[in-house]
Amino acid sequence: MWGICSRTMVKVGMVKPCGLIKPCHLVKPVSATRVPGRYLTHQKGLPTLPVPPLQQTCERYISALEPILEMDQLTHTKELVDEFKKAGGVGEKLQKSLEKRAQKTENWLSQWWVQVAYLDYRLPVVVHSSPGLVLPHMNFSDKQGQIRFAAKLIAGVLDFKTMIDNETLPVEHLGGKALCMNQYYEVLSSCRIPGLKRDSVVNHAKSSRPPKHITVVHNFQFFVLDVYNSDGTPLTADQLCVQLERICSSSLQDNAEPVGILTTQHRDSWGKAYISLTKDKTNKESVSAIQRSIFTLCLDGAMPQVSGDEAYRSCAAVQMLHGGGSQWNSGNRWFDKTLQFIIGQDGTCGANYEHAPAEGPPIVALIDHVVEYTRKPEMVRTPMVPLPMPKKLHFNITPEIKKDIEEAKQAMNILAQDLDMRVTVFSHFGKNVPKAHKMSPDAFIQVALQLAYYRMYQRCCATYESASLRMFRLGRTDTIRSASSASAAFVKAFDDTSKQNTEKVDLMEKAVKAHRSYTNMAVSGQAIDRHLLGLKMQAVEEKVSIPAIYTDTAFAKALHYKLSTSQVPSKTDCVMCFGPVVPDGYGVCYNPMEDHINFAMSSFNACKETNSAHLAQAMQDALLDMRTLLEHTPRAKL
Ligand code: COA
Ligand code: HC5
């Protein structure tokens, strides 16, 4: 049996991980030496995730509902919450069991979270769960350049992997506090495996014989590429280049069955197809080689030609998120693989990652390192030893599998057609302007998004922002609810001509402060969403009937995030993207740099009310209008 939570993603009986530490940019790999056990010592020193007080969560839940509910609905929900939290009530009982669970486990939440948020979630991982990442356009435009860059990229990842293997990555910090580093162990040599009702994740990094190969996919054909010499040294970029050339020249024909497209399917369908695919011994071995590999490298074919910077960036985001459909590169992937690097022929590069094992920041830290590595001149001398031919992975395609592939193509193409992706660079300012006004840049951006949405729809909506829980051992995320009473008061006043600018600025400050204080509460484990989830899971586990607060329409409304957002900062000037989490909502990912902000907005074409370009425009207007207001208004209390 395979466990599910990060630490338990080790086959029972296997060796526990030894260590790592910290994101690359603070690392000096040259002088680094291995300190065995450093990782475990660090992890043990981290605090455990607290269970917030029940009364506090109940009160905060009601406050969070205020901006998104009508008065009568709120009154009804207050009654349900009072009933839930009363002395001797079901809430108290569940709270006690949850506190017990917290004492017995390393993290009371992480295992449940991976199950609920990822492994039990049955929509395709493509668009609905796996994020994409677009790197700056690289300086090549032909096959030779593509191969050359790919070779350097592989060498860069292996360089990062050495730091993981040697435990020489220093510990990351947030607000002065050390963070859990576990996720760094989970991203290489891992893969998701489809099940009939629930998926699982395997991590081969911790096996007694950790993998020494990556998988390369070109023209929908998969290859095993050993990336270490027999003496254990990683292949140099020159050696990798030779090997990639051999792969490309032995996969020139472009009529291979795109087996990889099966991984784009609804998880139940893929779970079924997986069983039929792996009945065949050759297929099983091929799939296993992909699953065990350190990561997958996708050498892509062409994408549709577009003109203009914004259209190019949006097309690149689509390439990273879903590959463009079966006629383009969606079949040139194995979406279950935790980490896939994608290299186009025209200098477009990026990655796609399967979200179950890790959050964005460790992936971004790895990618920042790789980009820096690819920019350095090569110093290493290449050994003149002949290398074995990379092994092609064969698949026997039965009529049944052929049918599954055709169905997957159709479903993928519908999804690709449906996704409305818009990448924009807001170039007027970045973190610098809010900072100059003594405001948290992230809070400023979130409040601007509330304003943009309100201007488009004349109402507020439940809004999700990811907050890191990595201050705690095995911590993942909680939700910052960006729609607050303070943000609602601000957005309603902003275009009201009867209001004075000084009042608007005052409301803006309050909204920004409210957001920053929610953030502080969330990163310190005192937000409401994961606690409410925990109490519900506890009821499920104890087989008691689900309390009425969870079947209330207000709860469904609170979880219907029409704005699903995330800040993912990076050193490299890149754009991350993901899909909306509801059919009538938006996915908004942003990377605030010092003097500009990269945004990726997504929505579904099938929804007539949403339009990513309109939201992007409204966001730009909101940010500019907020700055103008600040610049033209003397601050009230200065
Ligand atoms: N005045 C001046 N400067 C301020 C300020 C103020 N009032 N408030 C904050 N700043 C500065 C900070 O010092 C920081 O400076 P830096 O750029 O030198 O580091 C900068 O502004 C950014 O701070 P802020 O915008 O407040 O955000 P943050 O960096 O604290 O990030 C979250 C907020 C919620 C994004 C972060 O806590 C978090 O949880 N990140 C992880 C999210 C995640 O996991 N995403 C991916 C999910 S897969
Ligand atoms: C390359 C980074 C992409 C960021 C992905 C992200 O933010 O995922 C969120 C994870 C979480 O637990 O909050 C989920 N979200 C995309 C739905 C916001």
CA distance linking residue 138 with residue 136, whole number of Å: 6
Instruction: Answer yes or no: is pLDDT of 8 > 80.
Output: no
Q: Which atom of ligand 2 is nearest to the CA of 466?
A: 13
pLDDT by residue (tens digit) across 465-495? 999 999 999 999 999 999 999 999 999 999 9
Instruction: Answer yes or no: is pLDDT of 580 > 70.
Output: yes
Mean pLDDT, to the nearest integer, of 570-583?
97
Half-sphere exposure of 254 (CA within 13 A, CB side): 8
* CA 16 / ligand 1 centre spacing (Å): 33
- Give the number of whichever ligand sits closest to the CA of residue 525: 1
Q: Which atom of ligand 1 is nearest to the CA of 441?
A: 25
CA 516 to chain centre: 22
Residue with CA closest to ligand 1 atom 7: 439
CA distance linking residue 263 with residue 205, whole number of Å: 22
Alpha helices (H) along 495-611: 501-523, 529-541, 548-551, 553-559
- Give the number of whichever ligand sits closest to the CA of residue 564: 2
* CA 75 / ligand 1 centre spacing (Å): 35
Predicted pLDDT at 4: 30
> Is 144-418 in CATH node 3.60.20.30?
no
**For this structure, is 25 an active site residue?**
no
Angle at which helices 529-541 and 90-104 cross, to 10°? 90
Q: In the chain, pLDDT over 70 holds for what percent of residues?
A: 94
566 lines ligand 2 (CB under 6 A): yes
Residue with CA closest to ligand 2 atom 17: 564
Domain locations in the chain as residue ranges: 8-30+46-79+107-117+421-632, 144-418
Mean pLDDT, to the nearest integer, of 307-322?
96
Task: Count other C-beta atoms under 10 Å from residue 227's C-beta.
Answer: 23
Q: Residue 423: enclosing H or E segment and its boundaries?
A: strand 419-426
CB-based contact 575:598 (threshold 8 Å): yes
* CA 438 / ligand 1 centre spacing (Å): 13
CA 569 to chain centre: 12
Predicted pLDDT at 35: 54
Instruction: Answer yes or no: is pLDDT of 248 > 50.
Output: yes
> Is 8-30+46-79+107-117+421-632 in CATH node 3.60.110.10?
no
CB-based contact 164:184 (threshold 8 Å): yes
CB-based contact 80:549 (threshold 8 Å): yes
Q: In the chain, pLDDT over 90 holds for what percent of residues?
A: 89
pLDDT by residue (tens digit) across 367-411? 999 999 999 887 777 777 899 999 999 999 999 999 999 999 999
Instruction: Answer yes or no: is pLDDT of 2 > 50.
Output: no
CA-based R_g, the chain, Å: 25
Instruction: Answer yes or no: is pLDDT of 496 > 80.
Output: yes
Q: Which atom of ligand 2 is nearest to the CA of 566?
A: 7
581 lines ligand 2 (CB under 6 A): yes
Instruction: Answer yes or no: is pLDDT of 59 > 80.
Output: yes
Domains 8-30+46-79+107-117+421-632 and 144-418 share a fold: yes
Question: Which residue did the predictor score with more confidence, 390 or 38?
Answer: 390
* CA 98 / ligand 1 centre spacing (Å): 31
Residue with CA closest to ligand 2 atom 1: 360
User: For residue 485, what are the contacts with CB-CB under 8 A and spacing of at least 6?
Assistant: 63, 66, 67, 514
* CA 466 / ligand 2 centre spacing (Å): 6
Task: Count other C-beta atoms under 10 Å from residue 507's C-beta.
Answer: 21
Mean pLDDT of the chain: 93
Q: Indicate the pLDDT class of residue 636, thresholds 50, 70 and 90.
A: low
131 lines ligand 2 (CB under 6 A): yes
Q: Name the 3-class secondary structure at 67.
A: helix
Question: Which residue did the predictor score with more confidence, 12 or 344?
Answer: 344
Q: Which atom of ligand 1 is nearest to the CA of 175?
A: 30
CA distance linking residue 509 with residue 270, whole number of Å: 49
**What's 124's DSSP letter?**
-
* CA 64 / ligand 1 centre spacing (Å): 22
pLDDT by residue (tens digit) across 148-198? 999 999 999 999 999 999 888 889 999 899 999 999 999 999 999 999 999
Residue with CA closest to ligand 2 atom 16: 578
Q: Indicate the pLDDT class of residue 26, thresholds 50, 70 and 90.
A: very low
Catalytic residue among 355, 437, 515, 531: 355
Mean pLDDT, to the nearest integer, of 276-289?
98
The answer to whether the predicted template modeling score (pTM) of the entire model surpasses 0.85 is yes
Q: Indicate the pLDDT class of residue 82, thresholds 50, 70 and 90.
A: very high
Nearest CA-CA partner of 574 in 305, 317, 333: 317
CA distance linking residue 321 with residue 129, whole number of Å: 10
Instruction: Answer yes or no: is pLDDT of 130 > 90.
Output: yes
Residue linked to tokens 């900062």 = 569
Predicted pLDDT at 38: 82
Burial of 272 (0-12, 13-18, 19+ CB in 10 A): middle
Q: Indicate the pLDDT class of residue 36, thresholds 50, 70 and 90.
A: low
CA distance linking residue 214 with residue 81, whole number of Å: 52
